[in-house]
Structure 1
Amino acid sequence: MIAEKYKQMLGQKSVIREIAEYGAERAKEIGSENVFDYSLGNPFVPVPQAFTNKLVELAQSPEPSTVHGYSPSLGITSVREKIAESLNRRFHMGYRKEHIFMTTGAAGAIAHALRAVTTAGDEVLTFAPFFPEYTPYVNQTGAVLKVVPPNTDDFQINFEAFEKMLTAKVTAVLINSPNNPSGVVYSPETIQKLAQLLQEKEREFGHEIYLISDEPYREIVFKGVEAPYIAKYHPNSITCYSFSKSLSLPGERIGYVAVNPACPDAELIVNMCGQISRGIGHNCPPSIIQLAVAEVADMTADLSVYETNMNILYDALTDLGFSCVKPGGTFYMFPKALEEDAVAFCKKALEYDLLLVPADSFGCPGYFRMAYCIPTEKVERSLAAFRKLAEAYKKEGIH
């Protein structure tokens, strides 16, 4: 008999993927240059040349077993050492290789982190707006995801709602900053308040509350915005990272878990991750990619185009009457739709070949997400379509 729960999930496909698939079909009809696809967060900037050079060097290695063989279950030792050293240089931490576990991207990192610190029936809190895949990430572990309602004024944490939901059942809080979908970066004050509250509740409840920090956009932060390194604020913190955005390598599926050295069970958790891999099939990410990213762990691709695109879109859309909290990072923008029903709004936008994602599944109805990781010239050409869309709503008297 087939597994019924996965069969049921077929009816709950990702709206982001569905819109992207529509865009691919529409591009066959009118040309991809005429489809303004803001649906999928797929980086497009070139990878650093140093990464490519290292990859070529490795591919030509006379020792294929080193490059193409299985890595140790926790990751290649030299890679874990280099990542620990990089984190220490940049964020003044005390990581050692024993605190690092290599994974297949941030998704793989979160999959391990959740299983290491939750058991069936535990609650995991996250903050709206949130990445929709958090729901299966958490619920498939046997734990239960609970979503804290958004603070739509600035998309910082809604602490009043959070404190009410932070009960003894909560064993982990899953945080994402810089945030997908809002582009907002949680301020040092927000993170400090969050950490203090978690530590107070740990003492009250008599058990750890782990702060799982999902950080694939950590390096995409705009001028004048301070992005705190979240693990510095809470000892029981687990950082989940991906090189997909910083190095523009989403298809290579490489990332890591970094457990705060101040966490009493840090080394135990990393070793547990190796055992968790045995059950979920996430073990041994590609050796050649581990070795290549280790050489450029301090580097990023040229990410400046994202801030350029953000400023163009933010200025244009607010001029057209859209309400939007200005992003502090990532390559996402999260405006309010021009009608209450964001699904209907995004459907209407398709008439102008604008592919936008309604935010109902992000826990924030009435908003839509734009992934502006596309060439700047295409961003500029899309503005006419946004203008026509806004004018259509004005004519209908809705906006």
Structure 2
Amino acid sequence: MINKSYKKLLEGKSIIRELSEYATARGKEIGYENVFDYSLGNPSVPCPDGYTDAVVDMYNQENPMTIHGYSPSLGIEDVRAAVAKSLSKRFDIAYEAKHIFMAIGAAGALAHAFRLVTEPGDEIIVFAPFFPEYKEYIGRTGAIMKVVPPQTKDFQINFEAFEATINEKTMAVLINSPNNPSGIVYSQETIKRLAQVLEEKQKEYGHEIFIISDEPYREIVFDGKDCPYPAKYYDNTLTCYSFSKSLSLPGERIGYVAVNPKAVDADILAVIMGQISRGIGHNCPASTSQLAVSKVLDETSDLSVYETNMNLLYDALVDMGFEVVRPGGTFYIFPKALEEDANAFCKKALEYDLILVPADNFGCPGYFRMAYCIDTEKVKRSIPVFQRFVKEVYSK
């Protein structure tokens, strides 16, 4: 018999993927250059030459067994050591290879982190707005996802609601900064206050509560600022990272979990994640990807286009009368729709070939997400279309 719970998922297809597929089909009708597709968060800039050069050099010079053989369950030792060295230098935390677990992208990192610190029935707290796939990532572990409602004035953590949600069943708090979908970067003040609350609750409940920090957008920050690194402020932190956005390598599916060396049982947590892999088959990331990223750990793609696009859209949206919090990073912007039902709003936008994602599945009804990882020229061409849509449909 086919698993009924997975079969049922066919009834609730990802709205992001659904809209992306619509945009592709519409593009075949009118030319994709005429479809203003803000649906999918797929990087729009090439990876650095250094990554490509590293791959080419390996294929020309390395022993084929090195690049095509299975990697160890925890990742290639030299790669883990290189990641630890880079993080230690950057964030002044004494990571060693034993604290690094190489994973198949951020999704693989999260899959291991959730299972590492929870048993079925335990709770993981998530802050809205959140990446919709968290529901399945967490739910399929047997843990329960508890959602803290958003603080829409700035999309920092709603601490009053958080403290009403946390309880003795809470084993982890999942944060995502810079945030998909809001683009907001949690402030140092927010991270410090979160750490303080969790320290108090650990003592009150008599067990550890981990921060699982989902950080694929860590390098995409604006206005010359840095994104606070949660592990610097809280010992029991698991940092889940992907090179998909920083190096524009989503198809390579490579990332890691970095265990704070001061965390409880820090020296064996990566080893335990290796055992978790045995149960979920989410193990042994591609050797080529691991070896190549280890050569460019301190590089990024040219990410400046995302800030350019953000500024263009933010200014235009404000001018059109939208309520929108200015993003501090990522390649997403998160305006409030011009009517209560964001689904209806986004459906009307389709008539203008504007592909926008309603945010109900992100835990924030009434808002919509725009992924502006597209050519700047196309962003510029979309603005008059957006203005016409708003004027004709909403008389603004």
The TM-score bracket by the shorter chain reads: over 0.9
CA contact under 8 A between 1:119 and 1:142: conserved in structure 2? yes
Q: Establish whether residue 74 from structure 1 lines up as the match of residue 102 from structure 2.
A: no
2:251 paired residue number? 251
Supply the distance in 1 between the matched residues of 2:318 and 2:19 (Cα, whole angstroms).
Answer: 24
Q: Which residue does the alignment assign to 1:332?
A: 332
How many residue pairs align between the two structures? 396
Check conservation: 2:338, 2:394, Cα contact below 8 A. Answer: no
Matched, 1:387 2:387: yes
C-alpha displacement at 1:224, in angstroms?
4.4
Counterpart position of 1:52: 52
Query: Counterparts of 2:306 and 2:392 in 1: how far apart (Å)?
Result: 28
Q: Which residue is equivalent to 2:207?
A: 207
State the percentage of identical aligned residues. 66
Shift, 1:33, TM fit: 0.3
Contact 2:211 2:237 in 1 (8 A): yes
CA shift, 1:119, in A, is: 0.3
SS in 2 for 1:201: helix
Q: What displacement does 1:223 show?
A: 1.2
TM-aligned CA deviation for residue 264 of structure 1: 2.3
| Distance in 2, Cα, partners of 1:62 & 1:192 | 46
Q: Could you say which residue in structure 2 is the equivalent of 1:138?
A: 138
Contact 2:342 2:365 in 1 (8 A): yes
Matched, 1:33 2:33: yes
Contact 2:99 2:260 in 1 (8 A): yes
Q: How does 1:184-223 map to 2 (within 5 A)?
A: 184-223=184-223
Aligned ranges 1:344-359 → 2 under 5 Å: 344-359=344-359
Q: What letter corresponds to residue 132 of structure 2 in structure 1?
A: P
Q: Deviations over 1:88-137 (max 9, x none)?
A: 11111110000000000000000000000000100100100000000000
Name the counterpart of 1:280: 280
Aligned to 2:343: 343
Give the distance between the partners of 1:298 and 1:347, measured in 2 at CA. 42
Equivalent position amino acid for 1:382 in 2: S
SS of the residue corresponding to residue 73 of structure 1 reads coil
User: Mind listing any 5+ residue stretches in structure 2 that lack a counterpart?
Assistant: none
| 1:298 to 2:298 alignment | yes
Which runs of 5 or more residues in structure 1 are unaligned?
none
Cα contact 1:61–1:67 (8 A) shared by 2: no
> Which position in structure 1 is the counterpart of 2:361?
361
Which amino acid in structure 2 is aligned with residue 357 of structure 1? V
Structure 1 residues 166 and 316, CA, compared in 2 at 3 Å: closer, same or farther?
same
Letter in 2 for 1:145: M
Q: Which amino acid aligns with 2:33?
A: E
**Is 1:125 aligned to residue 125 of structure 2?**
yes
TM-score by length of structure 2 reads: 0.99
Closer, same or farther: CA 226–67 of 1 in aligned 2, 3 Å = closer
- Give how far 1:285 is off: 0.5
Q: 1:132-178: CA deviations, max 9, x gaps?
A: 00000000000000110000000000000000001001000000000
Distance 1:62 1:303 in 2: 31
Structure 2 partner of 1:9 = 9
1:107 paired residue number: 107
2: CA distance, partners of 1:29 / 1:297: 42
Compute the displacement of 1:62 (Å).
4.4
C-alpha contact (below 8 Å) 1:188/1:226 kept by paired residues: no
Pairwise CA RMSD of aligned residues? 0.8
Could you tell me the TM-score, scaled by structure 1's length?
0.98
Deviating more after overlay: 185-194 vs 268-277: 268-277
Matching residue of 1:155: 155
Matched residues in 2 for 1:230 and 1:68: separation? 35
The Cα shift of 1:267 comes to 2.0
CA distance in 2, matches of 1:241, 1:394: 41
- Per-residue deviation, 1:281: 1.0
Which secondary structure state, in structure 2, belongs to the residue aligned with residue 352 of structure 1? coil
Deviation of 1:61 (Å)? 2.7
The secondary structure found in structure 2 opposite 1:60 is helix
Counterpart-to-counterpart distance in 2, 1:291 and 1:385: 45
